[in-house]
Amino acid sequence: MTGAAIAPLLGTAAVAWPHLVIARIYLTLRCHLPRDLMTFLRDAHEHRGVLRQVGPVYQFRHLDLQRHLAGQR
């Protein structure tokens, strides 16, 4: 490969968002993630009270629910 072909790949390796986009597309196509993730998270926060928002991050309100969904006991 030439340097011009490799440079864009190396530039995106240091940032998280390309990996997030790829993971979201993959998980959505495999039906493991809602199609509109942000709407789903906002609804879980505002209307259902399952999540709390701390800055730009959503967190589970209940540790037991988080453990259950993660498959831990």
| Stretch 16-33: mean pLDDT | 87
Q: Which residue has the higher pLDDT, 5 or 19?
A: 19
Dihedral sign for Cα atoms in the order 53, 58, 61, 63: negative
Instruction: Specify the amino acid at residue 5.
Output: A
| Mean pLDDT estimate for the chain | 82
Task: Give yes or no for a contact between 36 and 44, defined as CB atoms under 8 angstroms apart.
Answer: no
Give the model's confidence band at 44: pLDDT under 50 very low, under 70 low, under 90 confident, else very high: very high
